[in-house]
Amino acid sequence: MAGAVPSESRLRADARRNSQQIRSAAIGAFQGQGLTVPLEEVAKAAGVSKATIFNRFGGRIGLIEAVIEEVVASELFAVIDHTRTIDDTGQRIAYYLTAIRDLQYRQPAFNDVLLQTYPHSQQLMEICRVGSEANEELITAARASGALRPEFTADDLHALVVDNALALKHGKRPPRDDYDRRTTYILDGIRGLPSASDRR
């Protein structure tokens, strides 16, 4: 009937559709441009108003927390889990650092997490906590085995990835071949030094 008020079920269906469209648009925008992408762009991609994002998710933090699992967390945690399956500590550190730098290059949102761009997000801070624990665990084992220079610490690893996050977010993006070559240089620089007998 013309002019009839939409039923409650119809409103709920519209709300669910809007929420899913916003989620999908946010995942694409955050993965492509990082967590600081203007919400107007997310709204436009979702075909809704910016006000609808606030109505459905409460704003940027709520939207980030609604999709951060798909955007960053699942892939990062998969890297950490796989790292723990590698027996050789030298291979473990090589895989982990290479995988983290690859994630930084491909996923601008990961750099926003590392830089703690939104410290009021409990989920983002939890991701940082899990990552810090993994770094500490990895570096402790690698130093004990001699796979790393003895003076290299978990704080040094943290500084390397944060400095890289800053460079990728605010600097000129390097070609992939150059980026991967520099990853090799970093690994060569932090590996344990050969003993005197090894050098003979």
Over the stretch 151-193, which tens digit does the pLDDT of each residue have? 999 999 999 999 999 999 999 999 999 999 999 999 999 998 6
Could you read off the pLDDT of 5-44 as tens digits, one per residue?
Answer: 556 666 577 778 888 999 999 999 999 999 999 999 999 9
Residue 122 neighbours by CB distance under 10 Å:
10
DSSP codes of every residue in the chain: -TTPPPPHHHHHHHHHHHHHHHHHHHHHHHHHH-TTS-HHHHHHHHTS-HHHHHHHHSSHHHHHHHHHIIIIIHHHHHHHHHHTT--SHHHHHHHHHHHHHHHHHH-HHHHHHHTTS-TT-HHHHHHHHHHHHHHHHHHHHHHHHTSB-TT--HHHHHHHHHHHHHHHHHSPPPPHHHHHHHHHHHHHHHBPPPPHHHH-
Specify the pLDDT at position 6: 58
Encode burial over 16-26: b for 16+ CB neighbours within 10 A, e otherwise: eebbebbbebb
pTM beyond 0.85: yes
Distance CA 12, CA 85 (A): 45
Distance CA 137, CA 96 (A): 12
Could you read off the pLDDT of 78-111 as tens digits, one per residue?
Answer: 999 999 999 999 999 999 999 999 999 999 999 9
Distance CA 76, CA 64 (A): 16
